[in-house]
Structure 1
């Protein structure tokens, strides 16, 4: 793994590259789910074609940024990310966010447009309802509620529940991330100028294909919705298939 070495020190703090490709002509920047880390996108990076370099955002408060404080709220997190990576955004850059990461990527895309001239190639959102459909100010979950939430979503997080020591290490990060999700308030504004690709797991009841189609309202450019076999964390099992879908899009 390496950090990005062609940007500012602030960018290097936020982005991780697991398979550096200096000659790549396209870049995909990935945003993790709640409780997730940049490492979640390592398989996707290794599955990318030679002309695509995958960079993953490392949120504060986890892995090598364990001592960094997580901003309170999706908007505050997006502000910090834009400050760090905005100057390096080029026309060949697409954003990909999964679950909570889709909300973060959307808010980053909104902030990039008025500040940096190079348009995004695409916003790709996965396993997350459209921002305008999010119920604002949901009640916060207690620890038992967080545990049940993780169990319902499945994936590697559900496996962690079986190890109490690991679960208690992960719990503070999950608390902070879920607090950000449940306090999120969508503020209406101009739709994005870049196309949006929306991807759903075929068995994901938390963000169905029909839910994902409602992202159409957030762009004045092209829109397409796609389904992948699996549940909320379909991407863990199908990195090659997902990368093929993304590059085709």
Structure 2
């Protein structure tokens, strides 16, 4: 896989399903280090590295969802052509759930193989009426939102030098979310597993359940104790939910 766009945090690449993980707003590929190392070694877990962060700090971040989706889909299309028949799945958290979903839709429109399953975390389905939740635009408001959501990287917000590095990506990601509009479309045939924290200030369990309308296939909703970044406290359980979803797809295909 293209080393510019994807990172692998395991010593070897599993020969089974490839799981492509999409980070949250302001996040980087390293958000999935623990998950990658907890999942069974048979899976090949890779994380998307968006431009404008970590080793891609010199690349301008995207300020709209559509071109980001286009770029990721191009990379995945190349890999699908290079390794035909290799099953793959997509996992996205928060903004990453939206990017993963739209990437799956774009690949479907191109007539390319569909993911074995989509895992969408910490976000509700796109609103058909495009009633956008008020998203912060000023830097101070963006930072206040990030603090409210919590997570494991809060200390960086108190370091002016680190903040200067991470703020452009945060600003760009929130701009991309604020300008996103749901274009509609038929439900995917791809099965969905939706994951959410029971006290997430961004999305309720009920709102997470709205993803059910976006698939004609199997649907599962997994609720965990915790807030927006519940994954950090439940890595093993999340890995089990992913494994369950992927094995269910394998069983169904063999039936």
* TM-score normalised by L of structure 2: 0.88
> What whole-Å deviation, never above 9, does each CA across 1:67-113 have from its counterpart, x for those lacking one?
11222311110001101112324552110000000010011000011
- Matched length: 240
Residue equivalent to 1:104 = 99
Residues 136 and 142 of structure 2 are in contact (CA less than 8 Å); yes or no, is this contact kept in structure 1? no
Deviates more, 1:236-245 or 1:218-227: 236-245
> What whole-Å deviation, never above 9, does each CA across 1:29-66 have from its counterpart, x for those lacking one?
00000110001101111001121111000000111111
Residue equivalent to 1:121 = 116
Residues 137 and 184 of structure 1 are in contact (CA less than 8 Å); yes or no, is this contact kept in structure 2? no
Residues 18 and 44 of structure 2 are in contact (CA less than 8 Å); yes or no, is this contact kept in structure 1? yes
Q: Which runs of 5+ in 2 are unaligned?
A: 246-255
Cα distance in 1 between the residues matched to 2:31 and 2:136: 25
Q: Which runs of 5+ in 1 are unaligned?
A: 5-10
- Relative to structure 1, is the Cα distance of residues 196 and 209 closer, same or farther in structure 2, using a 3 angstrom cutoff? same
Bigger relative CO (Cα 8 Å, ≥ 6 apart)? 2
* TM-score normalised by L of structure 1: 0.90
Two-structure CA RMSD over aligned residues (Å) = 1.7
**Structure 1 runs (4+) greater than 4 angstroms displaced:** 137-140
Residues 136 and 145 of structure 2 are in contact (CA less than 8 Å); yes or no, is this contact kept in structure 1? no
Cα distance in 2 between the residues matched to 1:107 and 1:117: 14
Return the offset for 1:138: 4.5
Residues 27 and 52 of structure 1 are in contact (CA less than 8 Å); yes or no, is this contact kept in structure 2? yes
> What whole-Å deviation, never above 9, does each CA across 1:161-192 have from its counterpart, x for those lacking one?
23232223211111001000111100011211
Residues 87 and 116 of structure 1 are in contact (CA less than 8 Å); yes or no, is this contact kept in structure 2? no
- Relative to structure 1, is the Cα distance of residues 140 and 148 closer, same or farther in structure 2, using a 3 angstrom cutoff? closer
Matches within 5 A, 1:156-195: 156-195=152-191
Cα distance in 1 between the residues matched to 2:157 and 2:100: 28
